[in-house]
Amino acid sequence: MKKQDLIAKMAADADISKKAADEALASFIGSIKTSLGNGESVSLIGFGTFNVSHRNARKGRNPQTGAEINIPARKVPTFKAGKGLKEAL
């Protein structure tokens, strides 16, 4: 399912316009980005939890040349599926 398919499904299910569904989805995604950017987790009971994890700096290899490279530390988003989502599959 692509973003436009999701918007159409949301609009049909909620009996709203596609524009309103698009704005709602954009707001939802923006809220998650903002919360994760502030280091907060976002929990949706029955669906899952979005978190921020820290990856330490490490050594890696360039696959084309085999040269060793330094990979800097960084923050990465993670998602853990909730019980309701796992059971739906």
Q: Output the CA angle 51-57-58, nearest 5 degrees.
A: 120
Do 41 and 34 meet the contact criterion of CB atoms below 8 Å apart?
Answer: no
- Give the global pTM: 0.77
The predicted-structure confidence for 43-59, as pLDDT tens digits, reads as follows 999 999 999 999 999 99
Domain 41-89 superfamily per CATH: IHF-like DNA-binding proteins (4.10.520.10)
pLDDT of residue 77: 95
pLDDT of residue 54: 94
Domain ranges of the chain: 1-40, 41-89
Structure tokens at 28: 């939802």
Structure tokens at 68: 């060793």
Do 78 and 42 meet the contact criterion of CB atoms below 8 Å apart?
Answer: no
pLDDT of residue 69: 94
Strand partners, 80: 49
**Mean pLDDT, residues 36-42:** 93
